[in-house]
Structures are given as C-alpha cells and as structure tokens.
Homo-oligomer: A and B are copies of this chain.
Amino acid sequence: MRILLLNPNTSESITELMMNTAVSIASPATEVVPMTAQRGVPYIATRAEAQIGGAVVLEMLAERQSEIDAAIIAAFGDPGLLGARELFDFPVVGLAEAALLTACMLGRRFAVVSFARALEPWYRECIELHGLRDRCAGFTMLDEPFASISEVQGEKEEQLVALANKAISTLEPDSIILAGAPLTGLAEKVAGRIGVPVIDQVAAAVRQAETLVMLRPRKATTGTFKRPVGKPTIGLPAALAERIEGR
C-alpha cells in the first residue's frame, strides 16, 4: 500500500525527519511517499497559518489522489483534516489525531509536551476538535528560543525530557505526547528517561493509516462525510478545482 506523508509546511528537512520515523515503523508492504508543501510557511504555528495550510493540504491531496491508498496530514494540529476526509475517497489521518487516539489506549490522560509555547492554543483547539479535552491532562511547552526548527529536538533534548518529567509530576498524565513534527524520533531516544509511555506522533500516524487501509472502509455515500455534490469553482488550482467540481 502507498501512504502519502503530506507535510503542510514548506520545510523539506522536517519531511526527511518524519520519513525516517515512518520508514522504520511501516510494514514491509507499505510504501511511504513524502510530499512537502510548495507554498505556505516553514512551520505552521498559528490559527491563521493553519487556515492557509489546511487549504494547501487540499490542493496537495488533489494532486496525488489517484496514486495513494491513504494520507497522513503530517503536522500536529491536523490542518484541513475534516475537509480532506470529506472531499477524498481514501482514508486520511492527522498527526495529532493519531497520537491522541493511540495515547487513549495507554492510559486515561495524556500530557502534551512541545518546544514552543506559541503552539499551545492551536494544539489545544485541535484536541477540542477531536472531542478529547477530558482525556488531556494539560500542556507543558518550552519557552525559550531555539537555533533551528529542524534541529530543535537535538538542541533541546535535555530540556524536553525535563519538561516531560515536570508534566508528569504536576499534571499526573498516564502518557506523554512529544508534539510537533520536528520532535519525531525523539520519543524512542528518550523513552527510558520518562516514567510513562511516550508516543511518537509519526509512528502512530503511519500505523493508524495502515490500519484504516487494512479495514478497507468504503467511502461514505451518505452521512456528513459523503463526497460533496460538485459545484463550480473560480481560481482554484486545477486538480482541486476538478475534484470540487466533480468532474
């Protein structure tokens, strides 16, 4: 099966980081196909950027729809997820969604740990969107500058471990999610230093995308995720326009 790992950010280096994790967890029969946004921002961190990034996600999926069996929207925050799930025929899973739901099977409440305080509102609203507020013990976020987004996990490894342990003692979560695409791969490295299960969002997402493909769910023909009726468009990229127009 072919799973699209769609990075809605424009940072190729983050895509590579995620591919490392994805390839290491994917089943032998799974091909993970990377795709990096060609427009937008290097790292989505605000509501406005997520609004734009979510639209870019739809454009990107429209381009690749015929080549793939499932897609991962590979930014914690899941920009464009519900629209994508509605518009396309293949399963789509979000990085946050996969991590959150997987964490639910490892305890009652998870804590979210990340590298920049600016991300908290967006992450919080994503968790609310998924209806999982009661399963979230809280957030602890680094609040200091870092040199490079693609190397932040190495630069801040010690601080992030300390932060996770602080989350454990103050929020009493049953698991930790190291949230934000730039942190993928860190979970495996630091798990031994953190007293509860640590979830890697990309690993969770690849597995969940595979699971959805394996279950072979049909595209809804009714309900709120059936494919919308075609309608005219103006000024949209060709592939997306074609999909929305129902041609």
Contact = CB atoms under 8 A, between A and B. Distances in A.
A49 B10 CA distance: 23
Interface stretch (A86-94, A152-160, A178-186): A86-94
A166 interface: no
Contacts of A120: 224
B197 A218 contact: yes
A55 interface: yes
A105 B212 contact: yes
Counting contact residues on chain A (CB < 8 A from B), the size range is: 35 or more
A41 B230 CA distance: 10
Contacts of A174: 220, 223-225
A191 B118 CA distance: 24
Q: Which 9 A-B residue pairs are closest in the complex by CB-CB distance?
A: A39-B235, A197-B217, A48-B83, A195-B222, A121-B224, A55-B55, A51-B83, A207-B211, A48-B87
Interface string A79-113: 01011111100010100011001101111100000
The complex is assembled from copies of this chain, and their number is 6
A172 B54 contact: no
A240 B200 CA distance: 33
A218 B236 contact: no
A83 to B, nearest CB: 4
Given A51-B58, A82-B108, 13 more contacts: A40-B233, A40-B235, A46-B86, A54-B54, A54-B55, A108-B225, A131-B135, A173-B223, A174-B223, A175-B223, A197-B218, A198-B218, A207-B207
Contacts of A161: none
Contacts of A172: 223-224
Interface string A32-47: 0000001111110111
A195 B225 CA distance: 11
Interface string A9-20: 010000000000
Interface in A207-247: 207-208, 210-212, 214-218, 220-226, 228-229, 231-236, 240, 244
A163 interface: no
A52 interface: yes
Given A102-B211, A217-B175, A47 B192 contact: no
Contacts of A60: none
